[in-house]
Amino acid sequence: MSFRKLHFVAAVLSLLALMPVLPAKSTDPLTLVVFGDSLVAGYQLAPDEAFPAQLEQALQARGHNVKVINAGVSGDTSSAGLSRLDWSIGPDADAVLLELGANDALRGIPPANTRQNIDEMVRRLSERGVPVLVAGMLAPPNLGPEYAEDFNPIFQYVAEKYGALLYPFFLEGVALDPDLNLDDGMHPNARGVSVIVGNVLPSVEELLARAGS
């Protein structure tokens, strides 16, 4: 090899050595944790009919590289959710959909307690840098207007306090519709879950955008 060619090769190698090494673009899916009660756990439904499974399918059909984790526990109150938050939502969580409070209302738990628990959960997740979508709930009418006045604003209040996203009423379009609920009239059937997924999908996509989708 001539001296001129050798000099050229050395110059090229020197330039390559100075170029920054860019990390490979990650192909790992985002992890979305659905944290809640029986409304998301899939009460009396097949695993692929539950809200997290249907949500994952809908998101993937729209091109999102995401894995949705079912962290719903039937019967959970906001207090029970708070007690298991840290070990149920691990360090791999990129985003959380938080759906709790329905059982608080059914049991007539003081709204101040519910607000404190929801607030603490969103605070902890926010401190971890995990974006949150708060799914709201409405108090049953039989508890009276005073209870509803204290309970219903909880979710918007907490979401605004921490800059979280809000979906105002998780059962929008499904509550009280016998065709979309199980015989108990409270839990959505597979068709009802599909309606919820369709309604909440834009909010979840916004949540994934915050998580870096």
Annotated catalytic sites, by residue?
38, 184, 187
For the record, the structure tokens of 35 come out as: 């944290």
Residue 168: how many other CB atoms lie within 10 Å:
15
Q: Which amino acid is at 4?
A: R
CA distance 138 to 16: 61
Write the single-letter amino acid at 158.
V
Task: Tell me, rounded to whole angstroms, the distance of Cα 147 from its chain centroid.
Answer: 27
Q: At what angle do helices 190-211 and 51-61 cross, to 10 degrees?
A: 60
Which residue in this structure is represented by tokens 């809000």? 166
